[in-house]
Amino acid sequence: MKLKIAIQKSGRLHEDSLRLLKECGIDISNGGNKLKSTAANFPLEVYFLRDDDIPQYVEDAVADAGIVGENVVYEKKKEVEVMEQLGFGKCRLSIAIEKSEIYSKEKLNGKKIATSYPVILQEYLDKNKITAEIHEISGSVEIAPGIGLADAICDLVSSGSTLFTNGLKEAETILESQSVLIRNRCLDKEKLQLLEKLLFRIRSVKKAKNNKYILLNAPNEKLKEIVDLLPGMKSPTVLPLAESGWSSVHSVIDENDFWDIIEQLKAAGAQGILVVPIEKMIV
């Protein structure tokens, strides 16, 4: 028995999805077959599909699980369970208008908005009691205002350069999105166990990415102060250095607190600070 997972065949999420599986120790290098691939060292079959089709396939149990953007999950409204945010494919679904215009929600009333996300947009409009006409188009939404097809657009944005080069500006974000792991709602026990095993690995990889291993030398009279700055997984490891009066301190720190803590450590007298990436982190 194998767990079947659907990932994007090609496009923005393809590489990162494969990389994540690889970091989970799953080898799917026999990718010669364009539709599916079997992992060598985990009971997993990977299906390569268009991202738009992934929620449907997962709902229908053609695939047990899938990796897809939240934007697609919410737009397709399929009966699937979102298990975990994966931290890549980050973007936002935003309303954009011509650069020269001044934005207010109310001004959208009576306007024509072009989008590939009519469901999410309609929900947003309803919630804000705005009546606007949605013009659904499947690609190159950003050119719609320029050719007189719409007054505004609602599209995915990451760097903002597509909007900029089309004379548009981002006016309001209606959804923050990233890739997520989804699953079929009625998996049998065996499949669920496999999926939990995969999820455990995914979380270990994610956790490792958010943390750094730190090593430093501390004068013994400052040890208490320095150790207090470093939470560690349980508590920091402290080892004596060959030179008396000094200790080596090892710990794990959160990526987000990184620069703050480093500055405080230096101020407290820490020397020879080394920071190294962690490959996996089991907590």
Among 47, 55, 86, 89, binds ligand PRT (CB under 6 A): 89
Among the residue ranges 27-35, 52-60, 93-101, 188-196, the one whose residues contact Zn ion (CB under 5 A): 52-60
Site residues for Zn ion, 135-194, by CB under 5 A, read: none
Query: Do 5 and 44 touch, CB atoms closer than 8 A?
Result: yes
Least CB distance to ligand PRT at residue 115 (A):
10
Contact call for residue 69 and ligand PRT (CB under 6 A): yes
134-193 binders of ligand PRT (CB under 6 A)? 155-162, 177
- DSSP secondary structure string, 242-269? SSTTEEEEEEEEEGGGHHHHHHHHHHTT
β-strand partners of 205: none
**What are the residues facing 252 on neighbouring strands?**
213
Q: What is the CA radius of gyration of the chain?
A: 24
Q: How far is the CB of 282 from ligand PRT (least distance, A)?
A: 29
Q: Indicate the residue among 24 and 154 with the shorter CB distance to Zn ion.
A: 154
Query: Given the complex with ligand PRT, which of 64 and 155 has the nearer CB atom?
Result: 155
- Is 228 in a helix, a strand, or coil? helix
According to DSSP, the β-strands at 80-85 and 65-69 are unpaired
Whether 90 contacts 70, CB under 8 Å:
no
Q: Binding partner of residue 158 among ligand PRT, Zn ion, none, CB under 5 to 8 Å per kind?
A: ligand PRT
58 binds ligand PRT (CB under 6 A): no
Rounded to 5°, angle at Cα 253 from 265 and 241: 55
The span from the CA of 73 to the CA of 56, in Å, is 9
Contact 181, 65 (CB under 8 A): yes
Among 5, 24, 51, 73, binds Zn ion (CB under 5 A): 51
Residue 229 within binding range of ligand PRT, rule CB under 6 A: no
Out of 52, 84, 101, 170, the only residue in the binding site for Zn ion (CB under 5 A) is 52
Query: Shortest Cβ distance from residue 154 to ligand PRT (Å)?
Result: 11
What does 248 interact with, of ligand PRT, Zn ion, none (CB < 5 to 8 A by kind)? none
Residue 197's CB is within 10 A of a number of other CB atoms, namely 15
Query: Helix crossing, 14-23 with 189-209: angle to 10°?
Result: 100
- For position 94 contacting ligand PRT by CB under 6 A, the verdict is no
Coil, strand or helix at 73: helix
Choose which of 3, 4, 6, 8 interacts with ligand PRT (CB under 6 A): 8
Residues near Zn ion, by CB under 5 A: 51-52
Residues near ligand PRT, by CB under 6 A: 8, 11-13, 50-52, 69, 71-72, 89, 91, 155-162, 177
